[in-house]
Each structure stands twice: as C-alpha cells, then as structure tokens.
Amino acid sequence: MEALQFLFSVESWRMAVFWTLSLIFSYLHLLFRGIFQKSQSYPRRSLHPSSEQPICIITGATSGLGAAAAKYLSREGYYVVLVGRSSHLLSKTIQEIKQQQEDVHLKALQVDLSSFQSMLSFKSSLEQWLLDTNLHPSVQLLINNAGILATSCRFTAEGYDQMVETNYIGAFALTNLLLPMLKNSSTPSRIVNVTSFTHRCVCLLLFSYELHRQLFLMDPSHHISVMAADPGAVKTAIMREVPRHVSQLAFTVLKSLGILQSPENGVDSIIDAALAPREASGQYFFGGKGRTMKSSPLSYDAKLAEKLWASSCELLREAQLTMQESTKAS
Ligand SMILES: NC(=O)c1ccc[n+]([C@@H]2O[C@H](COP(=O)([O-])OP(=O)(O)OC[C@H]3O[C@@H](n4cnc5c(N)ncnc54)[C@H](OP(=O)(O)O)[C@@H]3O)[C@@H](O)[C@H]2O)c1
C-alpha cells in the first residue's frame, strides 16, 4: 500500500521522470562534448607532497559515498576524520576500513548537521583532538558529503526544512566554522561539495561557485580551492525513505540503462575533485576520469549566489543569537 501511495504521488513522478532525464542528459552532454570538443579533464595529484600528514574531514562518512571516499583517501595518506551522527556507525565504518588496510589513520567525530549546536560542539572536539595529538591546528581537505533524500517536508528543532538544512545549510555552516582552520594550513587546502545531477542541490552549487569567487579568485593568498562533485546514480542507502519496492524498481531501471554505479565507482568524481590540480577550482566534476562539465545555468547566477550568501549568513547569525539567549536563560 505504502509503495502504491508513493508511486501515485507527485514527488515520485518528479523523481522518476525528471531526475532520470536530467541524469541521461548529463551523460549525453559528457559524451557529445567528448566527441565534438576537447573535453576538459584533470589528472589526480597528491596535493601534499610535504612530510606533514594532511587532515581530511568527510561528512556523512558512515555510509555509501562518504565511507568509500574515507577508504580511498586514507590509503592516499590522508589522516581522515570521519564525521557522522551515530557513534556506533562511525566505529563500524572505521573497523571495516581497518580490516582492509591496517596502517591507515582514521578518527571518528560526531555531528548532526541539522543542529547548529552540534556543529559548534564538533568544532571544539576537532580542535581539542588536534591539540591532544600534537597535530597542526589546520585542515587541508573538507568534503561536504552528508545528505538526505527526504520524501516528505519536515522541520528540524531549529525550524528549518530538514533536507535543506542537512544538504545545504549544514555544509554552509560547517564550512564557515572550519574556514579559519582551512586558512591556517601551510599547504594549499580544498573544499569539495558533493552535489547531485537532480540539481535539487542548486543552493550548494551557488554556494560552491560563490566560495570559489571569494576564496580562490578574490583572496588567492590562502590557497583554498573549491570544487563541486556530482557522483551520478549510485547504489547507496540514499533512498532509505522511499518505500523498498519503489527504490528496488528505481535501481533496476537505472541498472538496465547502464548508469547505476557501486559506491566504489561512484566515488570517482569526488576523488577527482579532491585530488585535481588547484587551477580546477570552481569546476563541476562529473563522470569520473577527472572529467568536468557545466552545471545548470541557474547555478552560475552570481547575483543570486550573493543573495543566498547574505541570507545564509543572516540565518547563521540568528541561530547563534538564539543559542546564546537559550544558554543565558538556562
Ligand atoms: N547515491 C546517489 O545516487 C547520489 C547521487 C547524487 C548525489 N548524491 C549525494 O551524495 C551524498 C552522499 O550520499 P550517499 O548516496 O552516500 O547516501 P547515504 O548512503 O544515505 O549516506 C548519507 C550520509 O549522510 C549522513 N547524514 C544524513 N543526515 C545527516 C545529518 N543530519 N548529520 C550528519 N550526517 C548526516 C548519513 O548518516 P546516517 O548514517 O547517520 O544517516 C550518511 O552517512 C549526498 O549528499 C547525496 O545527496 C548521491
């Protein structure tokens, strides 16, 4: 019954038709560009040839693409901080990675990206851990990967739409909180925002390109590059809210179209974005093999991005004020 109800909902048709078409469009675009133009692709490079071990923070690292990225980048020599909501899932993911490769450096820290309070506690825990382990108080790579696919509109304790807060506001707030640590790096640092072919993350794209303008183009002194990465369709737990029969049907259709990937393959565009040379800042990585393409025209609207930036900053200020008031009151 639940599956049938979902199948007849507007949301279900939007997902089935619009998203599949936009994904096919992205692949066709990549294919035609490859045939008719010189497609722009970037090789993977180790960003940190120095002896100091670079620190990489990955949100949503307890499942799917985040866990696959943690595995790959820890093997590349990063000290990976896995960030997630559940301490049990964090320990389980670390154990699984260590079973395959013992000599990797991993640390688990909890955060709920739908809570500003939780993000502030996360920042303190991170600073304390760096201090306790005698590591330089800086971050070299931040991957904003956590995200949900909500099938209904619901609100967080702070009164925001749960999906928008997790997928966009969480990334915006965390990036701003960690910016001083990214700027404090003695080697070039990077932010990778994981976005989606559905372009339901257009806020995340506007934010990525605005951050690229502010950090890479206008303030090159800090050597921070910003990339967007779109993994395509990947078989992960992202459809956990969709009735099981419907998600299985969706995976079957995507598989028969030949565009469904495993997390180990789907993570390619994220790793490409993480390891591309600095001059690729502001690019949208899609399709693996270091390939990039243009995202939707709306995502390049600089005026809209400025407005979004200003209202997101206002939102953060309001949240901080509310937190200060409730601390005073208690
Ligand atoms: N799979 C795809 O086809 C696809 C396509 C395009 C883009 N993406 C994007 O890729 C990213 C990773 O998704 P995935 O496919 O790997 O999905 P997934 O397997 O469901 O992983 C999502 C991760 O985000 C975490 N998360 C969710 N809400 C959170 C919160 N409030 N605070 C902290 N962490 C939270 C989850 O933690 P819990 O385990 O605690 O829930 C989980 O670790 C998402 O941003 C998604 O939009 C995925």
66 lines ligand 1 (CB under 6 A): yes
The residue whose CA is least distant from atom 39 of ligand 1 is 62
On the question of pLDDT at 330 being above 90, the answer is: no
Residues contacting residue 234 through CB under 8 Å, at least 6 positions apart: 64, 65, 260, 261, 262, 263, 265, 266, 267
- What is the rounded average pLDDT for all residues in the chain? 88
Compute the average pLDDT of residues 215-228. 91
Which residue in 192, 186, 208 sits closest to 49, CA to CA?
A: 186
C-beta separation of 157 from 190 below 8 A: no
The Cα 212–Cα 218 span in angstroms is 9
Judge contact between 110 and 90, C-beta under 8 A: yes
* Higher per-residue confidence, 47 vs 250: 250
- Taking only the tens place, the pLDDT of each residue in 96-147 is 999 999 999 999 999 999 899 999 999 999 999 999 999 999 999 999 999 9
- CB of 194 within 6 A of ligand 1: the answer is yes
User: In sequence order, what DSSP letters do the residues of 92-104 get, joined into one string?
Assistant: HHHHHHHHH-TT-
| Of 21 and 71, more confident | 71
For the cut 90, the answer to whether the pLDDT of residue 70 exceeds it is: yes
With a 6 Å cutoff on the Cβ, whether 150 touches ligand 1 is no
pLDDT of residue 4: 67
pLDDT score for 158: 73
Predicted local confidence at residue 284, as pLDDT: 95
CA of 329 to the centre of ligand 1 (A): 35
Q: Ligand 1 pocket, 63 CB below 6 A?
A: yes
Using the structure block, give the residue that is written with the tokens 């995340």.
204
For ligand 1, whether the C-beta of 62 sits within 6 Å is yes
Probe target for ligand 1 pocket from 20, 24, 85, with the most ligand atoms within 8 Å of CB: 85
Can you give the pTM of this predicted structure?
0.93
Cβ atoms < 10 Å from Cβ of 35: 8
Instruction: Give, using CA atoms, the residue closest to atom 17 of ligand 1.
Output: 238
**Band of residue 24 on the pLDDT scale cut at 50, 70, 90:** confident
Q: How confident is the model at residue 6 (pLDDT cuts 50, 70, 90)?
A: low
Q: How far apart are the first and last CA of the chain?
A: 46
pLDDT of 207 over the 90 cut = yes
Whether 199 shows a pLDDT value over 60: the answer reads no
Question: Does the CB atom of residue 70 touch ligand 1 within 6 A?
Answer: no
Length of the chain: 330
183 compared with 12, residue with greater pLDDT: 183
CA–CA distance, 55 with 207 (Å, rounded to integer): 23
Q: Which of 24, 63, 96, 172 to mutate to test the pocket of ligand 1 (most atoms within 8 A of CB)?
A: 63
Measured distance CA(291)–CA(39) in Å, rounded: 7
Atom of ligand 1 nearest to the CA of 65: 16
**pLDDT at res. 192:** 98
pLDDT for the residue 268? 97
pLDDT digit string, tens, across residues 268-303? 999 999 999 999 999 999 999 999 988 889 999 999
Residue 25's alpha-carbon distances to 12, 36, 103, in angstroms, are: 19, 16, 42
- The helix (run of H) or strand (run of E) holding residue 183 is helix 170-183
Q: Tell me the pLDDT band of 329, cut-offs 50, 70 and 90.
A: confident
> For atom 42 of ligand 1, which residue has the closest CA?
60
Is 77 exposed, middle or buried, given 0-12, 13-18 or 19+ CB atoms closer than 10 A? middle
The answer to whether 82 and 94 are in contact (CB under 8 A) is yes
Cα–Cα distance measured from residue 222 to residue 219, given in angstroms and rounded to the nearest whole number: 7
Query: What is the reported pLDDT for 153?
Result: 77
Using the mean position of ligand 1's atoms as its centre, give its distance from the Cα of residue 309 in Å.
Answer: 23
CA distance 192 to 208: 8
Cα–Cα distance for residue pair 28/39, rounded to 1 Å = 13
Structural domains for the chain:
52-231+265-329 (3.40.50.720)
